[in-house]
Amino acid sequence: MNKTPEYLESKSHYEILDGLRGVASLIVVAFHVLEAYSGDRFHQVINHGYLAVDFFFLLSGFVVAYAYDDRWEKMTQWDFYKRRLIRLQPMVIIGTLIGAALFYFQASPVFPLISTTPVWQMLLVMLVGFTVLPIPVSMDIRGWQEMHPLDGPAWSLFFEYVANILYALFIRKFSKKLLTVFVVLSALLLIHFLIMGSQGDVIGGWSLNAPQLHIGFARLLYPFFAGVLLCRMGKLIHIKNAFAVSSLLIIIILFIPRIGGSEHLWMNGLYESFSIIILFPLIVSIGAGGNITGKFAMKVCKFFGDISYPLYITHYPLIYLYTGWVVKNKVPANQGLWVGLLLFMVSIAIAYASLKLYDEPVREWLKKRFLLKRK
């Protein structure tokens, strides 16, 4: 049997959006490094770094709609699921493997369950982690009640898959008007949680219990499907230096200090609502409407885009190790940040190596095996 060319050719990329994903991923790593020295959510150096996840959701919705909205006559739901699994799942596995390899080196007072966790239980959690299915709180092996305790950021991949399933089952069929209604209702759910809720921010979503699932779905539904709607509307903003402008905007939004303190939680909730609902779509509109002309800028956007997902999904086991070391040894920031800088660079190196030596070859093999028609 000979294989024909892939029956759904890859579309051209929005290079600036790829670059923005990389910028946000780099900020996430820096945020997690600096988080080891913050006493609480009110006193962090990159205080809104966690909003990068909500930005990722919006980017994902936009890209999924762009890639698949006009292709449903040529593919089945299972074809769609296969393509998404091939794109996302290999790096989930490598991130979980890295987390398992470093797990027992992370033992410290900040992770109280590690020292009492038998190897068989860690390996069981690893196997479940390969599937990106969440584990219940009763199976926690770290002490943070994460649904993916070997690789914390995988919680957002779980919700990413949920959004993809909702899109494939129902929302791809929505008219623009019906989708607008759904997005508006999702925005109201997010606003209610942020302004009327008990914490004034979207921190959370990584545990398999009702309060955390509430946070997770509040964070997921508006940005992801607002991204789908934004793509369908096609209202893009065309300005010069779009990558520089949109990158600067995302940096400012994520670096803004906490607003209102513990006395006025609604103030920070209002800021995050405005950022997620208004500013993030604005940034994506600028990025999608811009053009890259210089070769250097093109290379930067491509590199940032290529490493963004591998960096996001592989860096956190190193953060566990680093946080445990800082807390256990009471390392002051003026000493520990040099190690944090090294961690930052090693994270990028691991991400790039994972991309070139594992992710790209594995995805290419999976595409040939599962996405090419035979005749």
Percent of the chain clearing pLDDT 70 (strictly above): 96
Short-list 174, 172, 159, 218, CA closest to 194: 218
Collect all residues with Cβ–Cβ distance below 8 Å to 88 and sequence separation of at least 6. Answer: 157, 160, 161, 309
End-to-end CA distance of the chain: 6
pLDDT score of 8? 61
The CA dihedral of 254, 258, 264, 265, to the nearest 10 degrees, is 50
- Asked if residues 297 and 291 have their Cβ atoms less than 8 Å apart, the reply is no
Confidence grade of residue 5 (pLDDT, cut at 50, 70, 90): very low
Q: Token digits for 61?
A: 């919705």
**Burial tier of 194 (Cβ tally within 10 Å: 0-12, 13-18, 19+):** buried
| Rg (the chain; Cα; Å) | 20
What does DSSP assign to residue 9?
P
Q: What is residue 3's three-state secondary structure? A: strand
Digit-coded pLDDT (tens) for 36-61: 998 788 888 899 999 999 999 999 99
- Asked if residues 3 and 42 have their Cβ atoms less than 8 Å apart, the reply is no
- Asked if residues 321 and 106 have their Cβ atoms less than 8 Å apart, the reply is yes
Instruction: Give whole-number Cα distances, 364 to 117, 167, 372, in Å.
Output: 37, 25, 11
Mean pLDDT across 126-141? 97
- Asked if residues 24 and 275 have their Cβ atoms less than 8 Å apart, the reply is no
State pTM to two decimals.
Answer: 0.95
Q: Find where tokens 């599937």 sit.
A: 131
pLDDT score of 49? 97
Integer Cα distance of 322 and 29 in angstroms: 12
Integer Cα distance of 206 and 155 in angstroms: 5
Q: Token digits for 249?
A: 């905007």
pLDDT score of 9? 63
Confidence grade of residue 13 (pLDDT, cut at 50, 70, 90): confident
Mean of pLDDT over the chain:
94
Digit-coded pLDDT (tens) for 219-241: 999 999 999 999 999 989 999 99
